[in-house]
Amino acid sequence: MTSEPAKHMSSPSRREVLRTGGVVIASGAIASALPAGTLGFHQSGTDVLRVGLVGCGGRGTGAAAQALSADPQVELVAMGDAFADHVETALKSLKANPEFSARVKVDDDHKFTGFDNYKSVIDAVDVVLFATSPHFRPMQVEYAAQSGKHMFVEKPIATDSPGVRRVMAACEVARQKKLNVVSGLCYRYEKKKRETIRRVHDGAIGKILAAQTTYNTGGLWHRGRQSEWSDMEWQMRNWLYFTWLSGDHIVEQHIHSLDKVAWALGDKYPVRVTASGGRVQRTEEKWGNIYDHFNTVYEYEDGVKVFSSCRQWNGASSDVSDHVFGTKGIAHLQSHSIEGESAWRYREVEGEQDDMYQNEHDELFAAIREGAVIDNSDYMCKSTMMAIMARMAAYTGQTLTWEQAWNSQEDLSPASYDWTSIATPPVAIPGVTKFI
């Protein structure tokens, strides 16, 4: 492994529950020993927390609604997106919700567009929500950390290894400043998942031997192309289908499954990966340069193997499931059950609320109020890397080690950020495409 998990201290009760989801807490004696202002702006529980949204698509709009629902003193005061119509659509949607519409206070001077919109948003707020296409995440997290702002960071956090390393470095700055960094890998905030994983960690299935994870779904949205759009605008409005923007669907979507397995394995990551993939259904130019299926085998230092499959095929059967096999039983993570010697199934309590998307915002804002720190940076970076290394292995046809992948110099960034011509990168050909 290239970097060690962050060391942490925690106090019991709610904080102990947080830790079981891979959350790092700084509180108590640590907080009291810090200089005034180190933990951020508002600790009294009465002050307004100014929130900004960067990335005003559907996920960003949802994140803003969850932030507003998490704390009655949250106000949304700034929004940014590459495209003005995205800002207006999201703002209209948020203002239409009577539960928090009075706290949506984004005036015309705080609607920001263009490639550097994130800087203006960050400068205007206490807490920033990042939900753009993943390519832009490293520069955004870096600027927020330098600016001393708490963050909600959607998954994945980058689309290439240099981007992951950049986020990891930025999060070290955030850690030194005692800033909250909450990841959009939301399954870690689901109570049912936390209880299932806790039992795995407590030995309910014995020694883990292998895991199987599947994310087979249909296709997602496509925005088409307008004649007035430049190549850059066309690609950014259809960002799912361009590796430089999304990382491919194994990184953008299947990361949820890979992160669940990494969590079950105690936040351990593979030493080696072999993968295959390609395009058999989405072959037209409009689908950019990503694959539509991947099959991957991850190898671990202790001999454990993880078998991973993901695809986006319309008209085919779907399966989203994760299974961890041990010497005493099998844990079915997605169905929250265990079979074997310690058979168990999660039983919901009547009236229990367990919206993982809402939970992560509830815990973020509660931590800010309490002067605590949630630090999800280690697993959000390494789970992103776990997905990227499989993509690189599939694209090149090579078996890769973790060290090779982590130190890859392949930078997918465009030559410049302009509304101009930009070529669609070629579709990778295993055995021909080179590992960089």
CATH number at residue 393: 3.30.360.10
Strands, E assignment, 206-348: 208-217, 272-278, 293-299, 305-312, 319-326, 329-332, 337-340, 344-345
215/172 same-domain check: no
Residue 202, class by beta-carbon neighbours within 10 Å (0-12 exposed, 13-18 middle, 19+ buried)?
exposed
347/368 same-domain check: no
Checking if the pLDDT of 38 tops 50, the result is no
Closest CA to 91 of 81, 79, 102: 79
325/372 same-domain check: no
Ranges 22-26, 351-355, 356-360, most confident: 356-360
Give residue 349's pLDDT.
84
The domain in which residue 49 lies consists of 14-188+356-377
Give residue 42's pLDDT.
47
| 351 confidence band (pLDDT: 50, 70, 90) | confident
267/323 same-domain check: yes
97/217 same-domain check: no
The CATH number assigned to the domain holding 66 equals 3.40.50.720
pTM to 2 decimals?
0.89
CB 32 within 8 A of CB 389: no
Assigned domain for 330 exists: yes
- Name the amino acid, one letter, at 131: A
Segment among 21-25, 71-75, 124-128, 241-245 with least mean pLDDT:
21-25
DSSP 375: B
89/62 same-domain check: yes
181/213 same-domain check: no
- The tens digit of pLDDT for each residue in 228-237 reads 999 999 999 9
Assigned domain for 413 exists: no
Assigned domain for 23 exists: yes
H helices, E strands: number in the chain: 15, 17
Tokens for 384, please give them: 């992103």
In the chain, how many domains are there?
2
Tokens for 290, please give them: 């990503």
What are the residues whose beta carbons fall under 8 Å from the beta carbon of 350, sequence distance 6 or more?
A: none
Assigned domain for 430 exists: no
224/268 same-domain check: yes
CB 114 within 8 A of CB 82: yes
263/226 same-domain check: yes
- 3-state secondary structure at position 21: coil
365/313 same-domain check: no
Q: How far apart are CA 68 and CA 186, in angstroms?
A: 17
Checking if the pLDDT of 286 tops 90, the result is yes
Assigned domain for 247 exists: yes
The mean pLDDT value of the chain amounts to: 91
290/179 same-domain check: no
| 91 confidence band (pLDDT: 50, 70, 90) | very high
